[in-house]
Amino acid sequence: MQEFLEFTLGGIAIGMIYAAIALSLVLIWRGTRVLNYSQGGMAMFTTYVAWVVISHTGNYWLGFVLALASGLVLGAILERTVVRPTEGKSPLNSVIVTIGLLIFLEGLAGIIYGGQYRSFPVAFSLKGLKLGGVALGISTSDLFTAGAVLAAALALALVFRYTAVGLRLRATAFRPDVARLLGVRIGRVLTLGWALAGLFGALAGVLVTPTTFLYPNSMDSIFVLGFTAAVIGGLDSPVGAVTGGVLLGVVLSYAGGYLGSDLVLVYGLVVLALVLMVRPTGLFSAAAARRV
Amino acid sequence: MTDAASLAVEEIVAGYGGVQVLDRVSVSARTGTITAVLGANGAGKTTLLRAISGFVRPRHGRVLVGGTDLARRHPEDIARAGVAHVPEGQGVITELTVEENLRVGALARRDRAGRAAGLNDAYQRFPMLAERRRRAAGTLSGGERQILVIARALMAAPRVLLLDEPSLGLAPRMVAQVMDLIRQLRDDAGLTVLLVEQNARSALGIADKGLVLNLGKVVAEDDAATLAADVGLRRHYLGF
């Protein structure tokens, strides 16, 4: 029972990281039907920004904020420069471009920062928390991780639901043709979508890197799991992305805890395969309902 | 007179890829008039509207709205210049609520006051939409959707309204209602309307002028009453 509690709470904490990556993928997929394979590379790159700032200034929060800001800027720049020309072309073009971006970003990081593993600091203690003498299997740092992603996801939901910008994002995601007819400048909306995706990727990067170390490929496996979470949620739904992330985190935490932790990434792929076999549209996709 | 909402299409040539659909089509509509665009399937009626609203880029010709040439501009800029295009069927965003659909229509408007006033006007004009404001637009019937897309187009306070087959698939009673609405928009708001219709009889019933397209060319153009009285034309092109 004690173990079960630890695995559950620990799984929710790591699941929030997958949720952040999944959200960044969903933000781009909804608007453009582009799957951004470079999302992990972008998050790795912005984490290096944080690492440089923190090691020079010693100020964690300055590094944290600048990583998020550089995520916004990086997303916007990449959409405007490399992704925009693939719009309206075969989907394969955007797949190749974003995979190329991933290789480019990882290569560039290697050239600038070298390939060695760097440790990355945490904002809060990693010491396990206890409640009435019972170990919970999570730390203050885990609480911060979960809280930060939840707060960001909630803020996104509020923006989507209650602001003109959010209405633009949703109208463009559902019906870009209709949005254009009504005078919505969808080019700007798509840039904004990529910027927000860059922000969520950057958040995931700084939150997960203390547990993985920082190196040019450090986000690869996190990306795969974040992608799995997005697929579980249906790729279309922000709520699905968060739910998918938490579900995956908990399932993998049980699998790692009870079956052995060496194969966590493999378990993740098994989950992905199962979801694609049983319910390829995901658990929360509107696409299934729309086809009826 | 100032003709701020006039629409003049001059010698438009347009098509898709290598296929030319419109062959030097010209349309001239004065402010506050309804022009019916008639013709069989494949005559180029929808392409004409798409060329005006910028979704098809004309290879030749001009599209003057209030004297300004909008040809070859982006669709979103043409919409912002006061041209509202209501495409055939499927125009509502089914995932959004009725009110959100209306609000999308006003997104391009700069004035906050105008956006709020537009919503009030829409609900006053269409109480049916006010009753269903919080419902997903996908739950509306075909006739209700047609009202919603027209109301949404009006949210941008357009000068020119392009309507593509607004009566398609509607029950006869709804067709009469929609035609009545279009006539009101001309009379009350002074809108310039280009009305593409298969239902030639209904369209000519409310239109000031009409033109008939066949294989991408204008084959007849006259007062609506004159066209409606032309038996040969009716038998050949209009089917009533």
Q: What is the ipTM of this complex?
A: 0.87
By Cβ distance, the residue of A164, A174, A175 closest to B107 is: A164
The shortest C-alpha distance from A181 to chain B (Å) reads: 6
The H or E element spanning position A29 is helix A2-32
Per-residue pLDDT, A288: 42
Where along chain A do its domains lie? 2-219
| Per-position b or e across B228-238, b if 16+ CB within 10 A of its CB | bebeebbeebb
| pLDDT tens sequence across A173-220 | 889 889 999 999 989 999 999 999 999 999 999 999 998 999 999 999
A175 in B contact zone (CB under 8 Å): yes
The shortest C-alpha distance from B109 to chain A (Å) reads: 9
**In this structure, are residues B192 and B33 in contact, taking their beta carbons and an 8 Å threshold?**
yes
* CA nearest neighbour of B49 among B17, B31, B25: B25
In one-letter notation, the amino acid at residue B84 is A
**Edge-first strand listing for the sheet containing B19-29:** B19-29, B7-16, B60-65, B68-69
**In this structure, are residues A160 and A166 in contact, taking their beta carbons and an 8 Å threshold?**
yes
The shortest C-alpha distance from A276 to chain B (Å) reads: 24
The shortest C-alpha distance from A252 to chain B (Å) reads: 33
Chains A, B: CB pairs < 8 Å: 66
Q: What pTM was computed for the model? A: 0.86
Q: Do A181 and B104 touch (CB under 8 A)?
A: no
As given in the structure block, the two tokens for residue A69 are 């800001």
Mutate to test the interface with A, among B49, B76, B152, B161 (most CBs of A within 10 A): B76
Per-residue pLDDT, A134: 79
As given in the structure block, the two tokens for residue B65 are 């709205």
By Cβ distance, the residue of B75, B84, B152 closest to A180 is: B75
Q: Is the dihedral of CA A57, A62, A64, A66 positive or negative?
A: negative
By Cβ distance, the residue of B53, B74, B96 closest to A174 is: B96
Which of A14-28, A271-285, B170-184 has the largest mean confidence? A14-28
How many residues comprise chain A? 292
Chain B residues within 8 A (CB-CB) of chain A? 53, 55, 74-77, 79-80, 84-85, 87, 91, 93-96, 100, 103-105, 107-108, 152-153, 156
**Do the strands B209-214 and B34-38 form a parallel or antiparallel pair, or are they unpaired?**
parallel
Q: What is the CATH number of domain B7-91+159-238?
A: 3.40.50.300
As given in the structure block, the two tokens for residue A109 are 């990081």
Q: Quick one: pLDDT band at residue B89, thresholds 50, 70, 90?
A: confident
Per-residue pLDDT, B231: 84
